[in-house]
Chains A and B, each alone.
Chain A
Amino acid sequence: MLTTNELTYGKSTWCPGCGHYAVLNAIQRAVIELGLKKEETVCVSGIGCSSKLPEYLDVYGFHTMHGRSLPHAQGVKLANPELTVINVGGDGDGFAIGCGHFVHAARRNVDITYILMNNQIYSLTKGQTSPTSDRGFITKTSPEGAEEAPVNTLLMALTAGATFVGCGFSSEVTGLGSLIASAVKHKGFSFINVMSPCVTFNKLNTYDSYKKQSYKFEETTGYDPQSYEKAIEAALGYFERKPLGLLFKTETSVFKEVHMSEHPIAPAMQDISDPKKHSNLMERYLRH
């Protein structure tokens, strides 16, 4: 069995106290809990503080470009469905520049896990408003306070068709670890919104404020992660009260699942050494 140490690469450059340490640790716990091998696990990210996570996680990794990690992650998974693909990134990366890809990743339902490390601010560029910033939040690019309505990531995930939607918090690393493990086990597109405070640039959304706002969703009366309506209701209340844990989970057809069951060998593992095997495709263009 792997250890957290074996799954750690180098020394991180995150600020002391950054919420992202806990996410890294929670992912490592999930990998260990699920008994995954390093070589079968791929962590894909975009650009930002949170997207540096694959730099510090010792599995196969792909540090791609800003906002486009989800298409890359889907490509990895479709090329080799045997792999476990975990996509990580921040709120600017995933819900500003990359927002369009999120909606399509959710509705396409490729079997990958997307962990959003949501700190409600742009940190790597040192403090600008983000699409998840609270209204009125004062930053260098919103000196009068953020004017736009924040993106409700949980609600968007649910309405776009994500088949696994959860919410975690960097202060709750044990719960987050097992939530990630069940997201990875889930067949289909799983999404976890993690409140991961930026201690340097966001003095509004802090460990304390998140703690005050959050509650354990599974402890609510009549908890039923099969219920779409209850999940929607909890997501609608996200800006006031943040539901922790699994909100919603459903089983539906996974993208290319049929293809994969018909072709036991992954596209990336196909024997391509004999081009002549495909010369029959030419026949339809020959003389009758």
Chain B
Amino acid sequence: MTSGSINIAIGGEAGDGILSAGEILCKIFFESGAGLCTYKNFPSRIRGGHTSYSIRAAGGYCSSRSCETDILVAFDEETFDFHNGELKDSSIVIYDPAKVKNIKKPEGCSPTYYEIPFAELASKNFSKHLYKNTVMVGVIAAILNIEDAHIVKGLSALIKAKKGEDVLKINMSACELGMEHYRKIEGAKRLAMPSGKIDAADSLMITGNEAVTLGAIAGGCRFIAAYPISPATEIFEMMCSELPKAGGTAMQAEDEIAAICAAIGAGFAGARSMTSTSGPGLSLMAEAIGLAGCAEVPVVIVDAQRPGPSTGLPTKTEQGDLYHAIFCSHGDIPRIVIAAADVGECFEFAANAFNLAEIYQCPVILLTEQVIAQNKFAAPKFDYSNIEINRGRLLSEAELNKPGYKFLRYEFASDGVSPRAIPSQAGGVHLCNGNEHLESGRITEDPELRRKITDKRMKKIEAAASSKYLPAPKFYGDDAARYGVIVMGSNTGAAVEAIDIISAKTGRRDFKIMQTRSLMPFCVEAAAEFISKREKVFVVENNYSAQLCGLVKMHIPAHGKLVSVLKYDGMSFAAAEIADRLMTEVR
């Protein structure tokens, strides 16, 4: 499966500089035109504990990790425990004898081992052992025969801006030293970079959190309130520096309840507003999401999912918040829940989330996952010209004050979407209310009106289901395929590759994939048709309780065709893993 990609894993202790070395390598690969995705495995602490940085450099865009490693760099012995299972005969393992005294070899394959004293080389030549990471970058560049120009660009892009010309020079020399050292090893193995290339000039290298931030700002977000939480923090950090430049405001809240409430306050006042969080924060926000639903205030909540329950695994990945996103908060409210598969969708969905929130005047939850949120991917440049701004039934002051017009904030509109006014607009004065209310917004307990206003609110979901801003399901594979695969979010890329792997092995194209991009409202008709055409449908997801499968069953009468393929160990699915599981299921 790795014929089209080279996979590198660097393992060592947290605080060893492994993440920065990984970033440098990414930049070099990106400059050389490789498609890439990274996979960071790190503990929820600042120093100590095993960390690894895996990079998949591919001949085209890719969005899922590999479960094979072509080049393994071991700065500590623990690296072998984590990565031996990924090695194969053709793999190269390089290790630093400073900390690696015993080499634990994998069973069933014989990779080639090279001892390279990175730390010693660095200390001897540059008086700082931290340059060992750059020496290592040089070794990998030598193994892969990467052009000098790409190395220079990659190094200077990351180092010069941060640390200046002098530090860059030392790093260049450290890198050259690594290259020379490897080239001097007699008969040292070389590996080839994938032959395919992406159009690097028209590509980005970006994380999901960064893509969400770009999408939100482009989509008109001008207020964010949030509380730092892994793995969503980077959205808020970047917003704090970038939003003011766009005329917006960021507020670090005292907790997630205050965060969403401030965002709702800003939404009521007319700013496109959001909060960013992860599972524990979304749990705290439940009541306020209900308020936004009842009071019909637009607000966007980005949930970068991590494994729960409780604190769970803050730096790992899962898709376990689906039920919570769809059902949280007491009572019935209209809400929209969408899930992004990759950085491109993070950008696009984040921008459109604000259209959906304003048009349907309700909370919109955008689900991402740690694996997309915090890892880097090469992706086509984002298309800003595709973004529209649609503010729905937000009235102008002229419309509000038209002779004979009486503004009713919660008017019983046929599609449930009432006209909206914001403070500062004359003629629009009203009460926004989380208590059950009349069309005017004033509190009521009248049974008939209660029924009517509930119907009105909930009707908006029907309207939203056919909105052009709601991402429709996407399909991959042949329509004649016997089997179906239903996925959401990050599993999409892995599943698409998995069916290619299966085809390569079996010579048949037996699987068709449906990516459910909108979970609420759910694409019922499309899913029903998709399932009806298949013998069996596998629902592949990262959680224990088969939440996506449960959601499908909730909308479509159960018929025994659905089979869950689950994973909840904190890691994302790799394509080969999905392929194996599917082939076992249909054997």
Binding site for B on A (CB under 8 A): 9-10, 37-40, 42, 44, 47, 52, 54-55, 58-65, 68, 70-80, 82-83, 100-101, 103-104, 108, 255-256, 259, 262-263, 265-270, 272-273, 275-276, 278-279, 281-282, 285-288
Residue pair B384, A267 in contact (C-beta under 8 Å): no
Residue pair B269, A75 in contact (C-beta under 8 Å): yes
Docked complex Cα distance between A64 and B263 (Å): 13
Residue pair B287, A79 in contact (C-beta under 8 Å): no
Residue pair B270, A269 in contact (C-beta under 8 Å): yes
Docked complex Cα distance between A288 and B201 (Å): 9
Docked complex Cα distance between A61 and B246 (Å): 28
Residue pair B431, A55 in contact (C-beta under 8 Å): yes
Residues B440-491 near A (CB distance < 8 A): 441-443
Docked complex Cα distance between A103 and B258 (Å): 12
Partner of A259, one of B200, B244, B268, B423: B244
Partner of A72, one of B218, B262, B423, B433: B262
Contact pattern, B 197-224, Cβ under 8 Å of A = 1, otherwise 0: 0001101111000100110011110110
**Residues of chain A with a CB closer than 8 A to B104's CB:** none
Least Cβ–Cβ distance between B158 and chain A, in angstroms: 9
Residue pair B266, A267 in contact (C-beta under 8 Å): yes
With both beta carbons as reference points, the residue of chain A lying nearest to B431 in the complex is identified as A61
Partner of B273, one of A39, A75, A281: A75
Least Cβ–Cβ distance between A38 and chain B, in angstroms: 5
Contact pattern, B 8-37, Cβ under 8 Å of A = 1, otherwise 0: 000000000000000000010011000000
Residue pair A65, B287 in contact (C-beta under 8 Å): yes
For residue B424, CB closer than 8 A to chain A, the reply is yes
With both beta carbons as reference points, the residue of chain A lying nearest to B259 in the complex is identified as A71
**Residues of chain B with a CB closer than 8 A to A10's CB:** 442
Docked complex Cα distance between A72 and B433 (Å): 12
Residue pair A270, B266 in contact (C-beta under 8 Å): no
**Residues of chain A with a CB closer than 8 A to B218's CB:** 275-276, 278-279, 281
**Residues of chain B with a CB closer than 8 A to A256's CB:** 249, 251
**Residues of chain A with a CB closer than 8 A to B66's CB:** none
With both beta carbons as reference points, the residue of chain A lying nearest to B422 in the complex is identified as A268
Residue pair B258, A71 in contact (C-beta under 8 Å): yes
Docked complex Cα distance between A282 and B382 (Å): 8
Chain A CB within 10 Å, residue with most, of B27, B270, B291: B270
For residue B140, CB closer than 8 A to chain A, the reply is no
Residues B343-381 near A (CB distance < 8 A): 351, 381
Docked complex Cα distance between A61 and B251 (Å): 22
Residue pair A72, B443 in contact (C-beta under 8 Å): no
Interface residues on B, range: 35 or more
Residue pair A268, B266 in contact (C-beta under 8 Å): yes
Partner of A80, one of B213, B253, B269, B443: B269
Known contacts: A39-B426, A275-B384, A278-B217. The answer to whether A71 contacts B432 by CB under 8 A is no
Contact pattern, B 236-270, Cβ under 8 Å of A = 1, otherwise 0: 00000010101111010111011101111111111
Partner of A83, one of B204, B205, B269: B269
Residue pair A276, B384 in contact (C-beta under 8 Å): yes
Docked complex Cα distance between A78 and B222 (Å): 10
**Residues of chain A with a CB closer than 8 A to B248's CB:** 267, 270
Docked complex Cα distance between A59 and B261 (Å): 20
Docked complex Cα distance between A64 and B203 (Å): 45
With both beta carbons as reference points, the residue of chain B lying nearest to A276 in the complex is identified as B384
Residue pair A71, B269 in contact (C-beta under 8 Å): no
Docked complex Cα distance between A82 and B270 (Å): 12
For residue B387, CB closer than 8 A to chain A, the reply is yes
**Residues of chain A with a CB closer than 8 A to B201's CB:** 287
Residue pair A285, B205 in contact (C-beta under 8 Å): yes
Partner of A79, one of B200, B210, B271, B291: B271
**Residues of chain A with a CB closer than 8 A to B431's CB:** 9, 54-55, 60-63
**Residues of chain B with a CB closer than 8 A to A63's CB:** 431-435, 443
Known contacts: A269-B270, A287-B31. The answer to whether A60 contacts B220 by CB under 8 A is no
With both beta carbons as reference points, the residue of chain A lying nearest to B201 in the complex is identified as A287
**Residues of chain A with a CB closer than 8 A to B433's CB:** 62-63
Docked complex Cα distance between A269 and B426 (Å): 15
Least Cβ–Cβ distance between A55 and chain B, in angstroms: 6
